[in-house]
Amino acid sequence: MKGLFKYTVLIMLFSFSGCYSDDSDVSIHSLDAAHRTSHLTDLIKSVTLHHSSFDDVVDGSSCFSLKFPYELKVNSELMSISNMDDISVLSEKDVIEIQYPVSVIFFDYTSHQVNSASDLRNLQLQCESTFDIKPNSCIEFDYPITVKDFNDFTSSFSTHHFTNNEAFFLYLEHLHDSDMFEIEYPITLNDTPSTSIEISSNLELINALDNPKDCQ
């Protein structure tokens, strides 16, 4: 079935190539094409999702983070939290009480207002039951990144330029079954802590994201 799908897409690409040969550089090559359910798509989303474990000491969940700014009562003292540096001084030994209402940001960048501790607990249970992406915080994309796509249903080509994780994640999150996309290589990955890796194909990207080096 996959072979038939690729063959069908290639026929369509050749059929439409006349429309794009002179005035557009948009094209999709089958070897580096991916779609909504590709393993590569899942790997990219694991890097580009909203990483929210930085405030687990506050909200007890890696599924979402609290949206800045907000207030805590820490060991009975009121404390304003405006950035990650403010969180870094907290520890599990502290008695921390969230001052409601607050807003939370989920792994998919959606947000929700929370009015009580019980609401927060219910959201945590709901989110963690559907959170099926394993975050990869060991790799970072070096932006900008250009992606070309082809919609089999509408027979249309598009080019997208991404400058941050959120835009890239939301693009992948909203792909349709009829969409195919291709990353414009080369791209650069930043491997924690400071190593840069140049990537020239889907295969190289999959290998790098599947096997990050020096990741704790």
Contact residues for 155 (Cβ-Cβ < 8 A; gap 6+): 12, 16
What is the model's pLDDT at position 215? Answer: 66
61 burial level (CB within 10 Å; 0-12, 13-18, 19+): buried
Matching residue, tokens 């796509």: 149
CA distance 34 to 188: 19
Mean predicted confidence (pLDDT) in 187-209: 90
Cβ neighbours of residue 75 under 8 Å, at least 6 residues apart?
Answer: 94, 95
Report, as an integer, the average pLDDT of 61-81. 96
- Residue 167 confidence (pLDDT) above 80: yes
Instruction: Note the pLDDT of residue 46.
Output: 96
For residue 144, the SS3 value is coil
Q: Is it the case that residue 132 has pLDDT exceeding 50?
A: yes
Per-residue model confidence (pLDDT) at position 16: 37
Q: With a cut of 70, say whether residue 25 has pLDDT above it.
A: no
Strand-pairing partners, residue 77, are: 74
Region of poorest pLDDT, from 120-124, 152-156, 192-196: 192-196
Report the Cα 72 to chain-centroid distance in Å: 29
pLDDT the model gives residue 130: 82
* Residue 110 pLDDT exceeds 90: yes
Q: Are 142 and 190 in contact, with CB atoms under 8 Å apart?
A: yes
